[in-house]
Amino acid sequence: MTTNRQILLAKRPTGWVTEADFRMVESPVPVPGDGQVLIRNHYLSLDPYMRGRMDDAPSYAENVKVGDVMVGGTVGEVVASKNPKFKPGAMVGGYAGWQDYGLSDGKALSRIDTSIAPASWYLGVLGMPGVTAWIGLLDICQPRAGETVVVSAASGAVGSVVGQLARIAGCRVVGIAGGPEKCGYCVNDLGFDACVDYKADGWRKALSAAAPKGIDVNFENVGGEVLDAVLSRTNAFARIALCGLVSQYNATEAYGVKNFRFLLINRIRLQGFIVSEYLDKWPRVLQELAGHVAAGRVKYRETVADGLENAPSAFIGMLRGLNFGKQVVKLV
């Protein structure tokens, strides 16, 4: 291939993202300079955080500028290198964004071992989402055996790992997911004790029934009404890892937390976190996760869109909860 297809941010969305917010262009395949590596991307990761990067509001990371390539994690093959640390043919993970080829100085690249797991898994359970699950649950919330752990977006890339790690820790695990198929997957395939379908009538009562002894730990990915319902069932000294607020990312008016008082009443510790601020822990966490995957203690599922041109529609579908497990795009 002599051209590099790229998907750019065409304009900043208002409310829900549309495909018109993106634009595909073609440019020459870049040539690596001294110390650089050229990578042919095989898979692109699609994650909820990308929606925030499309806005112009203050955030924990730099937003994508209009006209720039959309940000995103990738795995691929080194096809040319002027960096002695990376030889052609090596499989690596990085952040090349929404494009077929990417240049890197090697600092943000990591080698991946496709003999352990498929390359795309390094964008999920053996990548950022897996580490996010581990840090939020085990480092921030520190669950104890016998406690009740609730995780929202339970069948997703992060939530599914959270629930399985909580089960390994000896906790009662309750998921919150959208639809009977996703809830059935959490219980029957992942070993959750219960899963509440937030799209069903009476789901708040179902949450109370699933957590009869209250909630000790909440791994929050959704926010809004889901977080409110969880707060009303918390126990004293509960811990909440605030990972995401996907229900609010496309909202034009903030929901607001109506049960905020429970943070005080139950002396809850709530902590937001950004997994990139824990880079020193990544090697140990990834090694542990790889062991769980190899032993079959942690299962994983992904939804694969085919072709870079389908990344925008797959991204919008992911934000609407149409994906099952981790959403990736196959580029090769």
Mean pLDDT of 225-235: 97
Domain segments of the chain as ranges: 3-123+300-330, 128-276
Could you give the CA distance from residue 15 to residue 32 in angstroms, rounded to a whole number? Answer: 39
Does residue 138 contact residue 167 with C-beta atoms inside 8 Å?
A: no
Give yes or no for a contact between 230 and 207, defined as CB atoms under 8 angstroms apart.
yes
Band of residue 253 on the pLDDT scale cut at 50, 70, 90:
confident
Average pLDDT (40-53) is 96
Do 227 and 238 touch, CB atoms closer than 8 A?
no
Domains 3-123+300-330 and 128-276 share a fold: no
CATH superfamily for 128-276 is NAD(P)-binding Rossmann-like Domain (3.40.50.720)
* Helical pair 159-168 and 282-295, crossing angle rounded to 10 deg: 80
**Which are the contacts of 124, defined by CB distance < 8 A and separation ≥ 6?**
45, 130, 157, 300, 302, 325, 326, 328
Query: Is the model's pLDDT at 55 over the cut of 80?
Result: yes
Query: For position 61, what pLDDT does the model report?
Result: 83
Q: How far apart are CA 114 and CA 118, in angstroms?
A: 5
Token representation of residue 138 = 């085990």
Tell me: pLDDT of 58 over 90: no
Across the chain, mean pLDDT equals: 96
Determine contact, residues 255/248, Cβ cutoff 8 Å.
Answer: yes
Beta-carbon contacts of 131 under 8 Å, excluding residues fewer than 6 positions away, are: 275, 278, 281, 282, 285, 286, 289
Q: Could you tell me if 172 and 146 are in contact, meaning their C-beta atoms sit under 8 angstroms apart?
A: yes
Read off the pLDDT of residues 7-26 as tens digits, 9 standing for 90 and up: 999 999 999 999 999 999 99
> In CATH, which superfamily holds the domain spanning 3-123+300-330?
Medium-chain alcohol dehydrogenases, catalytic domain (3.90.180.10)
Q: What is the pLDDT of residue 256?
A: 85
Specify the pLDDT at position 1: 65
The answer to pTM > 0.85 is yes
Query: Residue 194: what pLDDT?
Result: 98
